[in-house]
Structure 1
Amino acid sequence: MRYMATYDLMETLRNTNQWLGATALSMASYPIFSMTPNPAFQWISAWGEVTERTFQRMVTKPDWGIHTFTCEDGKDHLVSIDTVVEKPFGDLIHFAVPGRKPMKRRVLLVAPMSGHYATLLRSTVKSLLVDCEVFVTDWHNARDIPVSAGKFDVEDYTLYLTEFMRAMGPDTHVIAVCQPAPLALAATALLAEEEPEAQPRSLTLIGGPVDPDASPTEVTDFGRRVTMGQLEETMIQRVGFKYPGVGRMVYPGLLQLASFISMNSEKHAAAFTDQIARVARGEDGDHDKHNKFYDEYLAVMDMPAEFYLSTVERIFKGLEIAKNEFTVAGRKVDMGKITNVAVKTVEGGKDDISAPGQCVAALDLCTGLPESLKASHLEPEAGHYGIFAGKSWRNNIRPLVLEFIDANSGDRKTASKPANKNAAA
């Protein structure tokens, strides 16, 4: 029962704030108050609306919002999200476009399990859907997974990726964004040794901590300062009675969100104050800039405790991937076994989470891979989010990734085109 009371206390505080917001909105919106117009009621109503929405979306999984797609034939086609592989901790989903000819490029987009849902990659999916068959790893909220489903750590994550790659077949091009970059590399190496015919054609790693010590950031410094005992004592709690995963040890989403917000607390406070003013003036909307951002940013998911702790201990502290000492089920995973999967790294010059140098380290680990199948790109003005979404991704990085995919889509024995060395990090 330890920590369960704390988990339920956080949920109680969230629920109470949502209720207070709804109450303020309802009270200040009574028609009778319109008889004596008073700006105070507008502000109370606006505060209530923003507060209720803020705390309600913390426990709501965002919708992908990708319903139609205009194909080359000029017609709008419906987009259906089909589950290809269903697993306890995450599914492999496919954004199918019925009526469209199957695209030659088959892309597996590996989403991070780092506090937010896979929908964080919505704009990335939309941009790739134009030219590719897009598959995504859709990780589940740990609070909704019964304890009977067992554990889930970095080794299980790696095994999930190998299963997803097998299900998609050898003509797959993997794009791993942020946190899963080192584990996607490990999964590819595992297949290279155990089942070479199931390897993907190419592997693109975007802003991931393959070698966290290559270029330290606040994230890596935190991992060094705090002991594993401190992390387990302060960050890990048991899911409360409200959810199917009651009793499961997790790193709660609400606690993660508190950490996210504390890094830029003044900026967030100003954003919400400004939004209340906009609502009071009637200038807000469901799809305005504030709501579009915070609908996603505030939607957090609990992370399995063993996954969070093993990531910190083995990837950041132990540097098992960086040292090529990572093991899965007692077997060493040798990155040097990758010999015919083209590998490309993408980094942002202003990335303060996975700084330049951390991701490109993957190329040095692939000792069995010829230089013609290695590539790297540094986007000088892009931050962490910008390297997989926004202007930098749309205008510069996406075209290079598609070019890299096309250059390595042929027969493995003959795929010897030089990889596009754009701007080496």
Structure 2
Amino acid sequence: MSTTEEQAAEAFRSGPPIILAPGPRTTDRIPPPPNDVWDLPHGTAWVYHGEGNGQLTRPVLMADGFSTGPSDLGFTWEHLEYGPYPLLSELRRRGRDVVLVGYHERSASILQNAETVMAAVIETIDRRVGDHPLTVGGFSMGGLVARYALAKMETVGIEHQTQLYYSYDTPHTGAWIPIALQAFAHYTKKLDSRFSDQINSPAAQELLWKHIANWEDKPATSELRLAFLRALEEVGNWPRARETRLIAIANGPDTGAGNGVAPGTEAVIGKGLAVIGTELRTQSEGDDQLVAKLRVVTLPTREIRTSQLPDIDGAPGGTLHGFGILADALNEIPPLLGFGVDNPIREHCFVPAVSAIALREPATHDDLYTPISDEELEETPFHAVKLASQSDTHTLITEELSTWFLDQLP
């Protein structure tokens, strides 16, 4: 039985959206209730006092990253606490107060969500007992949100009293979603627009090193990203207050060793009748490289080719299970509708190590894979950086990275 476009659209729309972001929940453990909840412009904050603190005393602000819809601060707690290392417990055990900052819409412009962080900083200063300086930063996109927020506050003359700015696997010079995945999202837009809408959201376009708005487009730097970079320049690019240290943490190594994903390899292969002919491949170097064949339901097979892109899927850096997220969603559609796929490769580089420490753009193979020297580390905007010993899942909270971060706190 062949699947009609109407049946396919109903199947796509009846399931959860395909969201290229960390998740879903992996535990039933419920985070403890916050000591306070703040209603902020475009967002919310959950406040947890450190051990022995009856009020805000030694605050650490943590800005949420990219996804679709409102921040789920319960999931943020899970991600930071219930993984390989209990970062929030350790912060609070050391007498630090945790302020988790979320947004009403995570895919809104970074500039809009920076207003939430600015308000959280002001609220923290107003409520703090004593004069202990702030630690302000974020995870993934949250590091960019906090970076812009602090720089903007300096530009307009608002004191942020921040002694430490940090970013945790933040794509300072661009994030990467494979063109094959972007093309599939746009190719299936008339069946269900949600996947395409995420790729084309303001925040996604501001974050991605290369973007396509339609499946047949050539990869390019989005105009929204260019506008965001100009906005950063207008506020000085970085917090520059004399008392503010800047640090960065990367989920990838400095050795130049890749994550093991080979270029030009099949990652998602259509098996069901509705998607036979679909084939998503990892990115290859060179010109006229085939990265995707697309056929969904009644549509003819289309080929997507790219030129002058590096073999970035296997690069050192924080990884995302982007191919796996799509494959799992397709395989959850009832088998009779014919959307089953094989998924030999689940992950790809999402935040190259060189991007997480703002060293260089991920433009060529050498940019991505050349080992990072001590001399080059001196060229970054940061006072100190910490890279992982291997490529780990994007924003994975490991003991190796967390203990270094804790030692940097003022």
TM-score (norm 1): 0.49
What is residue 45 of structure 2 aligned with on the other side? 92
Once the two structures are TM-superposed, the CA of residue 309 in structure 1 deviates from its matched residue by 4.1
Distance 2:141 2:249 in 1: 13
Distance 2:25 2:166 in 1: 30
Matches within 5 A, 1:324-363: 325-327=229-231, 332-335=234-237, 338-340=240-242, 341-348=244-251, 349=253, 351=318, 352-361=349-358
- More helix, by proportion: 1
Deviations 1:349-393 (A, max 9, x none): 2533212110211799xxxx99997111112135134x542xxx3
What is residue 106 of structure 1 aligned with on the other side? 59
Matches within 5 A, 1:27-38: none
Deviations 1:204-237 (A, max 9, x none): 111111012xxxxxx626369958xx96675699
What is residue 405 of structure 2 aligned with on the other side? 401
The change in CA–CA distance for 1:232 and 1:381 in structure 2 (over 3 A counts) is closer
Q: Tell me if structure 2 keeps the 8 A contact 1:236–1:251.
A: no
Matches within 5 A, 1:121-160: 121-123=79-81, 124-131=87-94, 132-140=96-104, 152-160=108-116
Deviations 1:152-204 (A, max 9, x none): 32221222222222222283201311122223222221112113412522111
Q: Tell me if structure 2 keeps the 8 A contact 1:203–1:344.
A: yes
Once the two structures are TM-superposed, the CA of residue 117 in structure 1 deviates from its matched residue by 3.6
Distance 1:153 1:381 in 2: 31
The change in CA–CA distance for 1:107 and 1:9 in structure 2 (over 3 A counts) is same
Q: What code does the residue aligned with 2:111 have?
A: E
Q: Which runs of 5+ in 1 are unaligned?
A: 16-57, 68-78, 143-150, 213-218, 239-249, 257-301, 407-425
Q: Tell me if structure 2 keeps the 8 A contact 1:177–1:388.
A: no
Further displaced range: 90-99 or 190-199: 90-99
Secondary structure of the structure 1 residue equivalent to 2:178? helix
Deviations 1:28-69 (A, max 9, x none): xxxxxxxxxxxxxxxxxxxxxxxxxxxxxx9999877233xx
Q: Tell me if structure 2 keeps the 8 A contact 1:114–1:179.
A: no
2:176 is the alignment partner of 1:220? yes
What is residue 83 of structure 1 aligned with on the other side? 37
Distance 2:172 2:223 in 1: 8
Q: Tell me if structure 2 keeps the 8 A contact 1:108–1:174.
A: yes
What is residue 308 of structure 1 aligned with on the other side? 204
Matches within 5 A, 1:101-250: 101-102=54-55, 104-115=57-68, 117-118=72-73, 119-120=75-76, 121-123=79-81, 124-131=87-94, 132-140=96-104, 152-169=108-125, 171-212=133-174, 220=176, 222=178, 234=188
What is residue 284 of structure 1 aligned with on the other side? none
Distance 2:31 2:121 in 1: 24
Secondary structure of the structure 2 residue equivalent to 1:325? helix
The change in CA–CA distance for 1:8 and 1:322 in structure 2 (over 3 A counts) is same
The change in CA–CA distance for 1:59 and 1:401 in structure 2 (over 3 A counts) is closer
Structure 1 vs Structure 2 CA RMSD? 4.8
Q: Tell me if structure 2 keeps the 8 A contact 1:224–1:317.
A: no
What is residue 281 of structure 1 aligned with on the other side? none
Once the two structures are TM-superposed, the CA of residue 320 in structure 1 deviates from its matched residue by 8.1
Q: Tell me if structure 2 keeps the 8 A contact 1:153–1:307.
A: yes
Q: Tell me if structure 2 keeps the 8 A contact 1:325–1:333.
A: no
Distance 1:318 1:7 in 2: 28
Equivalent residue in structure 2 for 1:378, among 376, 380, 387: 387
Distance 2:13 2:228 in 1: 41
Q: Tell me if structure 2 keeps the 8 A contact 1:92–1:137.
A: yes
Mark the structure with the bigger radius of gyration. 1
Distance 1:183 1:223 in 2: 25
The change in CA–CA distance for 1:305 and 1:342 in structure 2 (over 3 A counts) is same
Deviations 1:81-114 (A, max 9, x none): 52123445x2111124696455753101112122
Once the two structures are TM-superposed, the CA of residue 8 in structure 1 deviates from its matched residue by 6.7
Distance 1:343 1:210 in 2: 13
Equivalent residue in structure 1 for 2:30, among 65, 72, 84: 65
Q: What code does the residue aligned with 1:342 have?
A: R
TM-score (norm 2): 0.51
The change in CA–CA distance for 1:208 and 1:322 in structure 2 (over 3 A counts) is farther
Q: Tell me if structure 2 keeps the 8 A contact 1:82–1:95.
A: yes
The aligned length equals: 265
Distance 1:7 1:153 in 2: 29
Q: Tell me if structure 2 keeps the 8 A contact 1:109–1:136.
A: yes
Distance 1:199 1:314 in 2: 35
